[in-house]
Amino acid sequence: QKNMLKMLRPLGACAGYRAPFAASSSLAKTTPVVGMRQQAFGQQQCMSASTNAVQPVTIKTPDGAMPGTDSYSVDPYNGKDAVSNGGRLAPGDPSRRAFAYFMMGSARFVYASVARLAVLKFVNYMNASADVLALASIEVPISGIPDGGCIVVKWRGKPVFIKKRTDEELADITAVDWKTLRDPQSDKARRIKEELLVVLGVCTHLGCVPISNAGDYKGGWFCPCHGSHYDASARIRKGPAPLNLE
């Protein structure tokens, strides 16, 4: 056994030979190495006469560490194992264009939807409420109005005059040159039907309510507060009121 160990020591120094992972006394007992041959340049070549000689295996790992040990690790961010950008694709890489376009398109769609919803909410907020819309129009029966009579109805909290005019009243208002009036307006522009007149019953002076079938003009209105007189077409003819009844 001592003779065999003496022969293994020069084997480790031979050029081109690497010892196995572990050399035990049992391996030394069963390794039948018989000798060495001296080469021309003074180097020694190891020779084995056995056909069952164990050849060394070289495993290339980072820093020479063996797999499975604590010292074995691959760091893709530092050292010789580092890869470009930590293994991630660089910004603006052509292979990322499809994903980038998809994300930008999705974000723009969301922004447009939110903007549309905000506009619709604002418009709906500015619209009149249901109770106001319900009072926007009223229906009034006019078959019961006598000739020359006037009824007062309430619309949006304001009085409205509905007058059924007689032929004498119509002749009186058409005999006047409307262009010479304070607020020039023809009777035709103020009514839908010739015999019916619908106006807002609020004096254009200070907002009083005139009295129907009163004043200096036949079938007209008179405001007793400040003395404004309107004719049967509700046009201002006398007094401080600046405009005709609406």
Q: Spot the catalytic one: 29, 116, 182, 226.
A: 226
Identify the DSSP state of 158: E
Angle 182-185-191 from CA coordinates, rounded to 5°: 135
Q: Where does residue 56 fall: left (phi above 0), alpha (psi -120 to 50 degrees), or beta otherwise? A: beta
Q: How far apart are alpha carbons 35 and 20 in whole angstroms?
A: 19
For the question of residue 205 being annotated catalytic, the response is no
What are the backbone angles phi and psi of residue 92, rounded to the nearest 5°? Answer: 80, 10
Our measurement of the distance from residue 155's CA atom to the centroid of its chain's CA atoms, rounded to an integer in Å, reads 42
Task: Tell me the two tokens of residue 241.
Answer: 């009121």
Helix (H, G, I), strand (E, B) or coil at 28: helix
Instruction: Mark 41-51 as b/e (b = at least 16 C-beta within 10 Å).
Output: eeeeebeeeee
Helix (H, G, I), strand (E, B) or coil at 79: helix
Task: Tell me the two tokens of residue 72.
Answer: 């074995």
Helix (H, G, I), strand (E, B) or coil at 2: helix
Task: Look at residues 125, 167, 161 and name the one whose alpha carbon lies nearest to residue 140.
Answer: 161
Q: How far apart are alpha carbons 50 and 29 in whole angstroms?
A: 13
**Could you give the residue numbers annotated as active site?**
226
